[in-house]
Structure formats: C-alpha cells, structure tokens
Amino acid sequence: MKLPVQLVIRLEAVLSIGTHVIPHPRKAASGGEDAFFANSDAGGVFAIADGVSGWAEKDVNPALFSRELMRNSSNFLNDAELQVNRDPQSLLMKAHAATSSIGSATVIIAMLEKTGTLKIASEGDCGLKIIRKGQVMFSIYPQEHYFDCPYQISSEAVGQTYQDALVCSVNLMEGDTIVSGSDGLFDNIFDQEIISIVSESPGVDEAAKALAELARKHSVDVTFDSPYSIEARSRGFDVPWWKKLLGAKLIGGKMDDITVVVAKVKTVAVPEDEGGDIEQQQGNEQGIAVAVASAEQNEE
C-alpha cells in the first residue's frame, strides 16, 4: 500500500513593486541622472542611484555612472555568493568595482529575505521609509559631509566606498509598505503626505506615480515650505538679513530628478514535498520583470 505524500506548506515573504521616475525639467530630454532596478526574485530587491550633477561641470555625463552602477548591481544578483548570502553591501561592493564610468552617485540597495527581513545598504541621501498601519515606523536618514553634500560612491579615490555604507536590517510584516526614493522625492514631500497617498492608492504602481507627481508639483512651487527649505533654514541657510526684516524667509521646493519605488510586503504559500523541494510558487509578484532604467522610461 502506497502511503500518501504529505504536503508541507511554507509561507514566504515577497515584494510587490511599483516604480515611477520624473526627470528634472531641464534634464527631461536626456532622461535625467537617476537610475534604478527592481527584481522580485527570492523575495525581492530594488536599488536607486542618483548621479551627482556636479560632474557636468567637467564635461562628464553624470547619468552614465549611476546607470552602469545599477546595471552591474542587477547583473550581480546571479552571483553564486550573493545567491547564498543576500547581502546588499556585498552587492554594492561588486557593482562599484565593476563600474568603469567616470562619476559618482548616492545609492540605496534593499533586499527582502524570504523570512521577512529587509536588508539595506545606503550611501548618501537616497531615502527609505517603512509604513505600518498608517504610521512611519522606520526611516533611513542621509549620510552627508555637510548640508547638500552627501556621501557618494565614486570613480575617484576621494569618494566613499561600500565600507562607508549605512547597513541595517528590519523585520517586516505582511501589509507593510516600503517607500524609497532619490532625494528629489524626500526633499519635496512630507511623511504625512506619503502616508496619505499610500493608504489611498489601489496599488503600488499608482502609489509610486502619485508620490512622484506630488513631489514634482511641490518642487516647482516657490511658495511651498518644503522639507528641503525647512532643513536649509535649520542649518543656517536663509535669505539676506535685509529680506528677513521684511518678513521673508528661504522657502520653496527643490527641482531635481525624482525616482520613487513603492513595495508592499505579501506572504505566499510555497508547497514542498517531504524532501523539501519546492514544487510551485504562487503570487503575482513573480510577474515583476527586472528593470534597469533611467528617468527617460517615465518621462512626463
């Protein structure tokens, strides 16, 4: 008599990922200087790189470095070592070493383990927030030398390396939402606005688009007292003293490339046989394609 095979179900965490990019108005024709990739394999991973615009003064296209860095990051996901030890800092190390373009970029890489642990490596001022039950329960804050001068991965020895990255892990729950972006997002939008948009959006694609569009709207509004202008004043940057006497203050959004990634944590049931071999995996997250992209993909 043949005994029935016992079916074992394991729950795994996966990310449903939406993205949207709007380039700086003056850089729309070239696609901007931000780049990103997103991949749903083995739980999920995404990364954002913001090319440092100062390189344009040396006749270097700042977008080339950030795009190559993201392309290399995506390619190294198949590295045997990273398949075993999913470590965003190691991924950053390998991608940076393989990048030959001249330039520099701020960068953030986030990887979700199947157990629900989000691993993060961040260099500079790309941001990440985790929203749980209508509240921001975790934030990554900028690494900087001084105001408006963030840490950056560079082709030059004077820049930072993967060893300078801020590295952390966060245990996530089903239903948690991750909002990550270049500084063009977080310089122009407040936490409560992020929470409202995430809660009101039907999906991650719609949330990413709505966040990017609101950040763009604020960035060109000279009357909007943005997170950037508030932070600048707190650091001692303001209008001349004689304008202060007239009641004026430094105010307004900050125009920039805006890259947004919104990812929602879901759990999927993974059947195994008694030997532990995975037979199948369900969930629409498997339909998310790998994307290495610049702002030109979502040019407004």
For the residues of 111-144, what is the DSSP string, one character each?
EE-TTSEEEEEEESS-EEEEEETTEEEEEE---E
Q: Is 12 helix (H, G, I), strand (E, B) or coil?
A: strand
Q: How many structural domains compose the chain?
A: 1
pLDDT tens readout for residues 164-193: 999 999 999 999 999 999 999 999 999 999
Task: Using the CB atoms, write b or e for 181-191: b if 16+ within 10 Å.
Answer: bbbbbbbbbee
* Enclosing domain of residue 79: 8-186+257-298
Q: What is the pLDDT of residue 2?
A: 64
pTM of the model: 0.86
Structural domain includes residue 244:
no
Structure tokens at 292: 């290495």
* Residue of 69, 1, 9 lying closest to 280 (CA atoms): 9
User: How many residues can be counted in the chain?
Assistant: 300
Structural domain includes residue 22:
yes
pLDDT tens readout for residues 109-159: 999 999 999 999 999 999 999 999 999 999 998 999 999 999 999 999 888
Across the strands, what pairs with 207?
none
Structural domain includes residue 202:
no
Give the mean model confidence (pLDDT) for residues 48-59. 95
C-beta separation of 15 from 43 below 8 A:
yes
Structural domain includes residue 120:
yes
Structural domain includes residue 209:
no
3-state helix, strand, coil in the chain (%, to 5): 35, 30, 35
CA distances for 257 relative to 9, 271, 284, angstroms:
44, 43, 30
Across the strands, what pairs with 51?
105
Structural domain includes residue 241:
no
Structural domain includes residue 230:
no
- 287: CATH: 3.60.40.10
Give the mean model confidence (pLDDT) for residues 51-65. 95
CA distance 295 to 300: 9
Structural domain includes residue 24:
yes
Q: Is 175 left (phi over 0), alpha (psi -120 to 50) or beta?
A: left
pLDDT tens readout for residues 195-238: 999 999 999 999 999 999 999 999 999 999 999 999 999 999 87
